[in-house]
Every structure is written in structure tokens, then in C-alpha cells.
Chains A and B, each alone.
Chain A
Amino acid sequence: MKITEQEVRRVAELANLALNDDEIVHMTRDMDGILTHIDKLSELDTANVEPMSQVLYDSEETATLRADVVHKPLGNADALANAAVSGQGYFKVPLVIER
């Protein structure tokens, strides 16, 4: 086994997913399957390989900074339009700090 149910429960906490016992069992089996396949990567010696974090290609030097010009922002009403709960121009969430 590459991963245990206990580890899956810990990862679910980190990922903010409330998985029930049945989901934990299935998730453990599924993650074990793909992690077993992923093990194949250890066959490769990558000690001297530079990691690739983005697509690289030969290109001419280009300015990557845009002109520092003020653009009209989205605006408060549009930004809040999809809020689960909003009020007074803010996103509302459950009480975080008890007084």
C-alpha cells in the first residue's frame, strides 16, 4: 500500500474536504492505484535535470512589464455579485473571532 486510510484522512483535512467513511475507503483505493503507477518515475535518474515549472521556448527578448496605466477596475457591485452572502460592500462569512 502506498497510502493508508489514516493518511487520506489527514490529507482531506489539509484540502478542506469533509469526506465520509465510505468516501475515505474509495479514495484510499483510488489514490493507491495512481500512486503505484506514479512510482514508475523513480526508475529515472533525474539528479542532474533542471526542473521545468513552465513551458520554455526560444523567443526574442520581450518586455514583460506592461505600461503602468490605471485601468478601470471591476467595481464593487460586480465583484460581489456572486458572493454567497454579502453586505455593506463586503463578503460575509461566519463569525471568526469571538469577543
Chain B
Amino acid sequence: MTIDSIRADLLAKRTSAEEIARAALKFAEAENPKTNAYLTFAPDRALAAARALDRKIAANEDPGPLAGVPIAVKDVILTRGLRTTCASRMLETYIPPYDATAVIRIEQAGGVIIGKTNCDEFAMGSSNENSAFGPVHNPVALDRVPGGSSGGSAAVVAQGTAVLSLGSDTGGSIRQPASFCGVTGVTPTYGRVSRYGLTAFASSLDHIGPFSRTVRDSARLLQVMAGRDEMDSTSAFAPVPDYVAALDGNIRGMKIGVPKEFFDGLASDTGDVIRAAIQTLQKLGCEIYEVTLPHTAYAVGCYYIICTAEASSNLARYDGVRYTRRSESAGSLQEMYRKTRDEGFGAECKRRIMLGTYVLSAGYYDAYYLKAQKVRALVARDYAQAFEQVDAIVGPVSPFPAFKLGEKVDDPTSMYLSDIYTVTGDLAGVPCMSIPAGKTPDGLPVGLQIIANHFNETEMFRVADAFEKVSTT
């Protein structure tokens, strides 16, 4: 099912939005034990939205560009009245009093939210093993991770238990799970989609973005969510172009850059798929150039200073006062803070809060945080210089395909280093996406990353769409 096929069925009255929602919920609930991708289902909300759509259709009103489409939302994005846990014990019973702007825009466009998806706790992780409610299993290979942190959102689209989903990306959390699960995932330009109602992890790096089966569907979903929002002062004023109208499949003459640094440390099975994908782009008439992003090797270190510093500040609010959980054994105020946080946060959150507090602490600010902000400027400059020569950049998303559950949990540094090809895009704030490029000999999906300059999502989608049209995966 796609946005277009559902719309056609609804307008031809072959089915109703309520029937679609009921079937989607039934299928998702039946399939969920295999993957643990959903944390919460929203039958009441979904059916109410669907019935409202059916009334509109009966009255010959426009039901909206996402009419009747079953959509899952990552559980770090707030949904009014619908439990939002951030996959953390800390927020196990938290019921948001308002909706995220992205959620409001989706529902206004006729989208039907059917549930909330599992993820790494507070979106911190690359494997979805940091969820307080158990890991997500990759639907392509159930003994493997779906990637993270938006593992549940990638898995539901791969499994077919939602047509679209929302994820969030701070250092690769949309693209890497999209790559691991063989679906399309988009990290838009920083500021393109309002962050209002996205639980803050690292505010200067956080993005909301879509997952889908097709490039066209991601473009449509982004179209609905994008644009200035008064509630997020960092959301951009830039006009939102018609992404889908530009998808003509013709990318002849487009200049595509391949960063040589993205092939250091790349597993051979992944590299083979990526090189074949680049040949496909060449056959489509693209001009392929080698480009350099010379500060790539410094990006992971830079990223883990900035994101942990911001996380330690953002997660200070979980203090046992405002957000549901308070330790029952606490006596004094100080004890309440410490015990609540000790009981509420999992190991990875604690690690990042600790690292962030350390790099911001007296005497270390210049050596770590200020240094990282300067290196971030160098990473951004690398992209600016590359985009003087080329229209888009392509490369791998992850150094390797989906790994086995438990395989990397004991070595956080090596898990962090696996973000090498995704963090640079977030640091620079440029739009990037992952599309299925092929499979390894073991049958594991490999994503091709496509990166464009700020607000140039159109070029990124055009490359992805043209590739998708000739791709056999």
C-alpha cells in the first residue's frame, strides 16, 4: 500500500478509512510479538480520525494528502493523551498534554496514527537494544538488530505494519535503521520540520523525518510536515517546494560526489553494494566525481561531545518533580533527584549524561565543548566546499549491515564509531536519506546514503527516485 493507492481506493469508495484503520491495527497487533516494534497502539485515536475522514469523503470534501494512511510515530514524539515513553522507565506512564507540530500536521492532512514505536531510550543508541521495554527484532532477520535509535519505526514499515512512520535523527537514527531494515528514511535539513513536541536529546542536532517503502511517499510525508512553526524558533522560514512534482526520473547530467573518506573501514559486502549503486547512477547519466570531506575522521569525537553535552542539559529536567516518576525511597530533595534518575535512566542514558556533564564541567569546557564546536564548523565547511562542485553526495550509511542482537552491547566506543558516515550530515545540518541499494550475499539490506545541500531536498529526492525506478530491490 502507498499513499496514492489508499487515496485512490478511498475516493473510488472501494473501502473506507475505518476499514483500513481496523485492518491495519489488527495486522499490526498480530505481527508485533515477532518484532516488538510497537510499544503502544492507538485504536481509539485511529478510529476516530478514520471516521472523521469517512464523513469528509461522504460529503465530497478533500480528505487531505495523507488520507487514511496508517502511520506509526516514534515514541519520543509527543501525542496528546497517548502515552509517550521515550522507551524509558522514567516516562513509563507519561501522557503528553499536547501534540507535536508534526503530529498535528499529519492528522490535519488526513493521516491516521495507529501507534507509537519502540526505540533506543531517549533516542540514544544505534541498535535499539537500549529500550527499557526490550529490543526490536529486525523483520528481515529476526536474530538481528533493526538499527537505532528509530528501530521500531524502520521495522514497522519493513514489516508492513504501518505504511509510513516518523523517526528522529540526531546522529543517524533514521538513516541507519532504514538501511538495516531495507526501507527509505529521510533526515531533512535541520529546521525544515519543527521540533516542537520532539523530546529533546541534542537540540542543535535533532530532526524529525519520515520512513516509507517508496521515495515518493517519504517526499509526500515531508511535504506535509515541513515549514515554519512559531513554536520552534529554529524552524526555517524557507518556502517548501513541491517535492513530488520534481520526481521525473531524469537525473542525466547531475553531478554526484563520492567522498573517499566514506570508504575507510567499510565492510566489503557493504562496499560492493554501494559501488554497484554508484555504477547505476552513472548509467542513469550522472557524472560521478570523487570529493573529499577531510574532517570525517574527527566527526564521531566531535559529535559525542556536542550531543552528550546537550543531552546532559536536556535530561536534567527528569528530576522526580514534573515527569511522572519519583523514587519511592527518597527522603530529602537531593536524594529524590539522585534516586529517581538512578532508577529511571538506563545505562546508555547515564553514560551520555555523565560524558556530557564531564565535558561541560569547570576546566574542561575549552578542551572539549568549545573544541568540538570549532571542529563542527570544519565538518560543515567540508560539505559547503563539496557542494560547490557537485549537486549531491552519495555513499554508505553504515560500515556494515544489521548485526546480531547482543553482538556489540559491551563495547560502547565501537558502537559510537559505527555512526561515522551519518554524524557528519547532522553536524552540518544538511538533508540526507537512505534508500535500499541492494543486499549482501547473506541477504541483509544495504542502504545508499544520498546527501544534498541545505534545503535541497528536491535534488536528494530526484536522485533517490531515479535510482528506485531502475533498482531491483
Chain A residues close to B by CB (< 8 Å): 3, 7-8, 11-12, 14-19, 23, 26-27, 30-31, 33-44, 46, 49-60, 62, 64, 66, 74, 78-79, 81-85, 91, 93-96
B350 interfacial by beta-carbon distance below 8 Å = yes
Could you say which of A30, A81, A94 contacts B97, with CB atoms under 8 Å apart? Answer: A81
Tell me the B393-413 residues at the A interface (CB within 8 Å).
411-413
Could you say which of A37, A53, A57, A94 contacts B204, with CB atoms under 8 Å apart? Answer: A53
Indicate if the CB atoms of A54 and B204 lie closer than 8 Å. Answer: yes
Indicate if the CB atoms of B342 and A18 lie closer than 8 Å. Answer: yes
12 contacts between A and B (CB under 8 A): A16-B334, A18-B341, A19-B350, A23-B350, A49-B375, A49-B377, A53-B373, A55-B191, A55-B234, A78-B98, A84-B321, A94-B336
Indicate if the CB atoms of A46 and B378 lie closer than 8 Å. Answer: yes
Chain B residues close to A by CB (< 8 Å): 94-95, 97-98, 189-191, 204, 230, 233-234, 236-238, 295, 297-298, 300-302, 304-305, 312, 316, 319-326, 330-342, 345, 347, 350-351, 353-355, 357-358, 361, 368, 370-378, 380, 411-413, 416-417, 428-429, 454-455
| Known contacts A34-B304, A54-B234, A82-B323: A46-B374 contact under CB 8 Å | yes
Cα distance A27–B380 in the bound complex, in angstroms? 31
Indicate if the CB atoms of A34 and B333 lie closer than 8 Å. Answer: no
Indicate if the CB atoms of B301 and A40 lie closer than 8 Å. Answer: yes
Indicate if the CB atoms of A38 and B97 lie closer than 8 Å. Answer: no
Which residues of B have CB within 8 Å of A85? 326
Indicate if the CB atoms of B324 and A19 lie closer than 8 Å. Answer: no
Cα distance A55–B431 in the bound complex, in angstroms? 12
Task: Report A31 CB to chain B, min CB distance, Å.
Answer: 6
Which residues of B have CB within 8 Å of A7? 358
Could you say which of A16, A26, A38 contacts B301, with CB atoms under 8 Å apart? Answer: A38
**B355 and chain A: residue at smallest CB distance:** A31
Task: Report A19 CB to chain B, min CB distance, Å.
Answer: 7
Cα distance A49–B376 in the bound complex, in angstroms? 10
Indicate if the CB atoms of A51 and B94 lie closer than 8 Å. Answer: no
Indicate if the CB atoms of B377 and A52 lie closer than 8 Å. Answer: yes
Cα distance A38–B94 in the bound complex, in angstroms? 36
Supply 13 further A-B pairs (C-beta < 8 A) apart from A16-B334, A41-B302, A84-B320.
A3-B358, A8-B354, A12-B354, A30-B412, A36-B413, A37-B300, A37-B417, A41-B298, A42-B371, A57-B455, A79-B97, A82-B322, A95-B333
Could you say which of A44, A55, A66, A93 contacts B378, with CB atoms under 8 Å apart? Answer: A44
Task: Report A65 CB to chain B, min CB distance, Å.
Answer: 10
Indicate if the CB atoms of A27 and B354 lie closer than 8 Å. Answer: yes
Could you say which of A30, A41, A60, A78 contacts B375, with CB atoms under 8 Å apart? Answer: A41
| Known contacts A44-B378, A51-B373, A59-B236: A83-B321 contact under CB 8 Å | yes
**B297 and chain A: residue at smallest CB distance:** A40
Indicate if the CB atoms of B361 and A49 lie closer than 8 Å. Answer: no
**A79 and chain B: residue at smallest CB distance:** B97
| Known contacts A46-B374, A91-B322: A33-B412 contact under CB 8 Å | yes
Across the A-B interface, give the 3 residue pairs with the lowest CB-CB distance, nearest first.
A55-B429, A51-B373, A84-B326
| Known contacts A51-B377, A82-B323: A37-B413 contact under CB 8 Å | yes
Could you say which of B189, B333, B338, B341 contacts A93, with CB atoms under 8 Å apart? Answer: B333
Cα distance A58–B450 in the bound complex, in angstroms? 21
Cα distance A53–B309 in the bound complex, in angstroms? 12
Name which of A43, A53, A74, A84 has the most chain B CB atoms within 10 A of its CB. Answer: A84
Which residues of A have CB within 8 Å of B354? 8, 11-12, 15, 17, 27, 31
Which residues of A have CB within 8 Å of B324? 82-84
Cα distance A20–B467 in the bound complex, in angstroms? 52
Cα distance A46–B305 in the bound complex, in angstroms? 16
Task: Report B367 CB to chain A, min CB distance, Å.
Answer: 8
Which residues of A have CB within 8 Å of B330? 94
Task: Report A88 CB to chain B, min CB distance, Å.
Answer: 15
